[in-house]
Every structure is written in structure tokens, then in C-alpha cells.
Amino acid sequence: MTMVTATPPAGIANAGTSDNRNVLLSVRDVRKVYGSREAVTRALDDVSFDISEGEFVGVMGPSGSGKSTLLNCISTIDTVTSGNIILSGLDITQLRSRQLSKFRRDDLGFIFQDANLLDTLTGFENIALALTIKGEKADAVRAKVDSTANMLGVTDVLQKYPRQMSGGQRQRVAAARAIVADPKLVLADEPTGALDSRNAAVLLETLEVLNAKLHATIMMVTHDAVAASYADRILFIKDGKLFNELRRGDDARTDFYQRILEVQAFLSGKQGDSPAVGFAPSHAVKPRN
């Protein structure tokens, strides 16, 4: 198993961690190539960054830029072509299948766009699954499911099946399921993609609470600048490369949102530009609309 020291990736100004928190996740020189000679896609091309414990990181970039691929490699749903991904000192690209299942079960929480609840299980059973698989006692399972459901406002639907819930309720049950076992890292791929703006706001506020109160480390892919503005930091990916990053710092969410829009506009409007890490978008572009 390879141990890799977490150092800021070369060429990315101020990337890595800006504070004194411990590095939780370290992505090092990750490449992912799909296909064979005739049709090769470099979905990830030498991507390196760190995420600290307790950070809420957004991942943005045009369609096809490699965002889901990145999340899938971190979640070990997919394998990297080369490079290393270290979570709490463990190189997860080197895990064998038994260690992989343990890693997915114990260390990760997932929230997908379509919620992905099991149709034949109630809300309670869906949330409880991660705990029962781990062999937790029934009393402990009930207590944890109840408190998580309460926090996410889904106590009322615990006895319902997914088809009997609204989209927002399903999404919040999925969020409860993702965090009930206290994972090290919560991965979310377009978690608000299927929600109306009110339910999206509820889910984002939920993630904010998870992050602020329970110190969950969150990595969220989104194309939505409003959703992204809830994060502490945004990584922008273009053509499989880390293109830029924004930190919220002390900005109000609305100000951060404006900065995100500017980079988004730059990314979509100026195809073919070389990576402009650390560029000042306010001098370069105007926000869309």
C-alpha cells in the first residue's frame, strides 16, 4: 500500500489547504482514460488537490469535463488509470475487494441525483440499512435513524415507501441514509438536480448543517451556482484538468455566488484558454445575466 505525503499540487497556487485543519482526502496526479486506441477519452488528466477535514467543497465544470468521473474514482465505483487517492492516510486505489466494501460501507456516504432509494424498503429501512449491515444493535439503529430523520425533517415519512414520498422527501431520506453511519466523507453528485428550488434549498441547508454542526466533510458536484455557493471552496474542472479554484473566505453567500458565476461564464465562454489559476475573473469577464 502506498503512503503519500500530502503536499499542495504543483502549479496550483494556494491549492490544497488554506487552514490548519488536517487533510482528509488527497488526490494525487489522477488520470482516468476511457476507451482504447480508436476512441480515447482522457476523462481526468493529472488532477491533484487536497480536502481538509470538515471542508465543504463544490466541484463544477462543463458537461463532460470529468466531474462524475472524479467522484466515482474517489468513491471507488470506478478505478483510476494512474495516480493515487489517499483518504485518512489510506491509498484507496490500492484496496482489494474486501477492503473496498469495508471502505465504502464505513467511510463514505453517497447522495445521488435520483436519490437511489430501495423501492421495497420504507424510509426507515432505507436509512437503517447502512447500520444494520454493520451489525449495529436494533436500539442503536432506531436511535440514530430517529435523530438523523429528525434533523432532516423526514420523521413523518419514515414508514412510507419511496414512491409514496415527494421528490424532496426522497432526497432528504437519501441524505439521511448517507450520513447516518457518520462517514468520513460525503460525496454528492448533482444532489439538487431533480429538485425544485425550494426542495433544493432544503437539501443544501441540510448539507450546510451537516457540515457546520456535525463537521461532515462534503464533496458535491453541481452545475448550479446557487448550490455551489453553499460550499467553502469550489474546484473548477475543464477537459479533465483542475482549472481553477475559488474560496468563499468571509464572503456572504450572495457575493460568493457572483464570483462563481463569473468563473462559470469564463469557462463556458472562452474555450481553449490555458488554465488560468489565480486569475481575477472580475477583470476578465462579466457575469452572465
Ligand X SMILES: Nc1ncnc2c1ncn2[C@@H]1O[C@H](COP(=O)(O)OP(=O)(O)OP(=O)(O)O)[C@@H](O)[C@H]1O
Q: Using CB under 6 A as the criterion, which residues of the chain lie in contact with ligand X when the complex forms?
A: 34-35, 41, 43, 61, 63-69, 223
Q: How far is the CB of 102 from ligand X (least distance, A)?
A: 25
CB of 73 to ligand X, least distance (A): 9
Beta carbons of 49 and 27 less than 8 angstroms apart: yes
**Please, what sign has the CA dihedral across residues 75, 79, 84, 89?**
positive
Cβ nearer to Mg ion, comparing 68 with 122: 68
**CA–CA distances in Å: residue 253 to residues 8, 182, 223, 234:** 26, 27, 16, 13
Position 17 contacts Mg ion (CB under 5 A)? no
Query: How far lies 22's CA from each of 16, 51, 92, 139, in Å?
Result: 11, 9, 18, 33
Interface segment toward Mg ion; rule CB under 5 A; list 64-72, 149-157, 222-230, 246-254: 64-72
Cα 69 to Cα 81: distance, rounded to the nearest angstrom: 11
Assess contact for 57 and 221: CB atoms under 8 A: no
219, 57 contact by CB (below 8 A) = yes
Binder of residue 197, out of ligand X, Mg ion, none (CB less than 5 to 8 A by kind): none
Q: How far is the CB of 191 from Mg ion (least distance, A)?
A: 12
The rounded distance, in Å, linking the Cα atoms of 45 and 57 is 20
Q: For ligand X, which is the closer residue by CB, 68 or 211? A: 68
Min separation Cβ 130 and ligand X, Å: 25
Q: Which is nearer to ligand X, 112 or 257 (CB)?
A: 112
When the beta carbons of 111 and 173 are compared against ligand X, the nearer one is 111
43 binds, among Mg ion, ligand X, none (CB under 5 to 8 A by kind): ligand X
Looking at the Cβ atoms of 6 and 174, the one nearer to Mg ion is 174
**Alpha helix ranges (H) inside 217-286:** 225-228, 253-269, 281-284
Binding mask 100-139 for Mg ion (x = CB under 5 A): ----------------------------------------
Q: How many residues bind Mg ion (CB under 5 A)?
A: 1
Smaller CB separation from ligand X, 66 or 162:
66
Cell numbers 457546520 correspond to what residue?
212
From CA 136, how far away is CA 152, in angstroms rounded?
22
As given in the structure block, the three cell numbers for residue 12 are 496550483
Which stretch of DSSP H or E encloses residue 197? Answer: helix 197-213
Nearer to ligand X, 63 or 120 (CB): 63
- 253 contacts which partner out of ligand X, Mg ion, none, CB within 5 to 8 A by kind? none
For the bound state, the minimum distance from the C-beta of residue 43 to ligand X, rounded and expressed in Å, comes to 3
Residue 206 binds what, of ligand X, Mg ion, none (CB under 5 to 8 Å, by partner type)? none
Cβ 34 to Mg ion shortest distance, Å: 14
> What is the spatial distance between Cα 277 and Cα 237, in angstroms, rounded to a whole number?
11
Name 122's Cβ contacts closer than 8 Å, sequence gap at least 6.
158, 159, 160, 161
Q: Which of 68, 93, 206, 264 lies at the binding interface for Mg ion (CB under 5 A)?
A: 68
Q: How far is the CB of 193 from Mg ion (least distance, A)?
A: 9
Cβ atoms of 44 and 162 within 8 Å: the answer is no
Q: Using CB under 5 A, list all residues that contact Mg ion.
A: 68
